[in-house]
Amino acid sequence: MEVFNEIEDQGFNAIRVTFKPIDGKLWEIKFKSESAGYRILYVLLEQDLMVWLHAFSKKSQKTPPKELKVARKRMKEVLK
């Protein structure tokens, strides 16, 4: 998907992509494709090392609690 390449090449300057803090070290990437909107929950381990924890199709304005729970669990494992 071209969005992934754009994030890899441009980082936080990627166009058509929104980076938003969620809670502490947990962040969110929001973007739209031709068919739907998507969100990726991630954590930064180093300046150039982003670990994607959970991705899902966007269906509402707020991030659903069950999606946050999955990402937080994975983040704890990654940060150990």
Q: Are 29 and 44 in contact (CB under 8 A)?
A: no
pTM reported for the whole predicted model: 0.83
What does the pLDDT profile of the chain (80 residues) look like in tens digits? 677 788 888 888 888 888 999 999 999 999 887 778 899 999 999 877 889 999 999 888 888 999 999 999 999 999 98
22 contacts: CB under 8 Å, gap ≥ 6? 28, 41, 63, 68
Residue 1 has what pLDDT?
64
pLDDT at residue 37, as a whole number: 87
* pLDDT at residue 13, as a whole number: 84
Q: Which residues of 17-55 are buried (b: 16+ CB within 10 A; e: fewer)?
A: bebeebeeebbbbebeeeeeebbbbbbeeeeeebeebbe
